[in-house]
Amino acid sequence: MKILIIEKEDTSRDILKARFLNEGWGVLTSSDGLEALQKVKTFKVDLVILDPMVPKLPSDVICKEIRKITTVPILVISSRSNEEDIVNALNLGADDYIIKPFRINEVLARIKALLRRLEMFAKKTQHVVCFNQNTLIINFETQEVLVDGRAVQLTSTEFKILQAFAQKPGKVFSRQDLSYIVQGYRFLGDARTMDAHIKNLRKKLEKNPRTPKYIVTKTGAGYKFNCVQDHAPLIDSPELLIETS
């Protein structure tokens, strides 16, 4: 695995780099946003660590530009602890958020949890699945999603949430369940992270996110994928088909 550390503080950057190298991971570093984006475009990275305070480019622009290029997981490590900052980072495409001063063992645990989930989802042998008379099409191998014939781009975390829902239509998932399935750990008392991911997912899937038809809220319980799977895919786009031997 190769990790890109985008961090302005020399000490934090060096601590992260040393521990990642000790884990046997490849490491790239950058101390400003412009250089970081160039490295994302030049090298294949598997994870991005982002300090929102890096100079030369606002963090929201960095996240948006990374998301135009790749769905690679983004872990924000920030000194900003306000709810607004956390939710905003997740809205921009971050997959997880750690508040400084960080504990390196927690960072490693979060990363390894992300890796376990990525490996688990990658190993699953799936096929193209259609819901609600072909209005929602999901290709689990290519991570392509079509809504009413329109392609939508999901972050890796958003896609894993959708996959969890799609594998068990009608099941009510608690926020803790979803957190464990897609991130590898259960949050302790703060549901804002998962709620922000669900909000972003609804924006991309629903015609009207305020009255969702795909992902509905079950008050006091969590969320449910309120869709009916079609018996056979009605797909016109050959690139969405998965060949089977």
What would the pLDDT profile of 175-206 be if each residue is shown by its tens digit? 888 888 777 666 544 567 788 899 999 999 99
Q: pLDDT by residue (tens digit) across 205-219?
A: 999 999 999 999 998
User: Of the candidates 225, 213, 240, which has an alpha carbon nearest to the alpha carbon of residue 129?
Assistant: 240
* pLDDT for 141: 80
| Best CA proximity match to 204, nearest among 195, 214, 194 | 214
What's the pLDDT score for residue 242? 33
- Within the chain, what is the greatest distance between any pair of CA atoms? 56
Q: According to CATH, what is the number of the domain 124-240? A: 1.10.10.10
Domain ranges of the chain: 2-122, 124-240
pLDDT above 70 as % of the chain? 86
Backbone angles phi, psi at 197, to 5 degrees: -65, -40
Tokens at 163, concatenated: 């996959």
Report the helix count and the strand count for the chain, using DSSP H and E: 8, 12
**What pLDDT is recorded for position 123?**
54
pLDDT in tens, 151-173: 899 988 899 999 999 988 899 99
Which pLDDT belongs to residue 12?
95
Contact 135, 147 (CB under 8 A): yes
**What is this structure's pTM?**
0.59
Strands 136-139 and 172-173: unpaired
In this chain, the answer to whether the domains covering 2-122 and 124-240 adopt an identical fold is: no
pLDDT tens-place string over residues 63-109 = 989 988 887 889 999 999 898 888 888 888 888 899 999 999 999 99
Residue 237 — very low, low, confident or very high, per pLDDT cuts 50/70/90? very low
| Digit-coded pLDDT (tens) for 30-69 | 999 999 999 999 998 999 999 999 999 999 899 989 988 8
CATH code, residues 2-122: 3.40.50.2300
Buried b (16+ CB within 10 A) or exposed e, 92-112: bbbbbbeeeebeeeebeebbe
**What pLDDT score does 104 carry?**
95
Give yes or no for residue 126 having a pLDDT over 70: no
What does the alpha-carbon distance between residue 75 and residue 89 come to, in Å, rounded to a whole number?
10
The DSSP code sequence of 187-220 is -SS--HHHHHHHHHHHHHH-SSTTS-SSEEEETT
